[in-house]
Structure 1
Amino acid sequence: MSDHAGRLASWTGDFADEINDQLALAATDAQVYRAAARVEARIECLLDDWDDVRSVKPHPPDERGWRLLVGTYRDLAEQVQGWLDEMLEILEDPAAAVERRGWQTRKPPPSRSP
């Protein structure tokens, strides 16, 4: 169990670093596809680890810690899902996303024609 707790901490830091590195780049299409594949691989590792933890049948003294770890994985997976949903929403209509969130821009977003 403690191994998984360490992996969770490492995973979140590595995932954030990966995203920040990609946001800082003006990337070619090939670089974007490679970055997306790396993000996908990290998410798959997270889900595999979550499956591993859920498959464990803990001894009674360890059950509370096990439930906490399963819940932590679930919460992290839900946060990642929310982040991905938000990213897709922004990519689908950046101007509307900026407007909905009340983000300030240097100039107003272009008006959408009917």
Structure 2
Amino acid sequence: MLQLPDAELHAKAVELGIITKDQDLPPSQRSRVAAVLLADRRAAEQPQAPAAPKCAREITVRGSEITVDGKPFPWLVARAPMEIGLNPDGSGTVRITLLADAVQILTPQPTTESE
């Protein structure tokens, strides 16, 4: 059986508003607080769904320096020609070549109609 430290149980009980910082956790509430702590741990261990892709607000290319929305692009870019497309409204696209130690291409899992 998993043992939870008293200090952790006490802190969670205060956070939940069951007791104040100066009170002791009643034995009748220990299992309730322990269940919340365990549920929090399980939720933290679950893989998070990737964030939905979003359109960059601004891409700046200055020599070999590339910034996306003011942040340095974190990957190495190959010394290959870039393709830059600009639209009259100022929007556009940038096609670059990323360097990688390995590349893996996976087929998406088929989805059923009930999903």
Same-fold status (TM-score > 0.5): no
Larger helix proportion of the pair: 1
Q: Which has the larger radius of gyration?
A: 2
> For the superposition of Structure 1 and Structure 2, which TM-score range results when normalised by the shorter chain?
under 0.3
Question: Please, what TM-score do these two structures have when normalized by structure 1?
Answer: 0.25
Larger strand proportion of the pair: 2
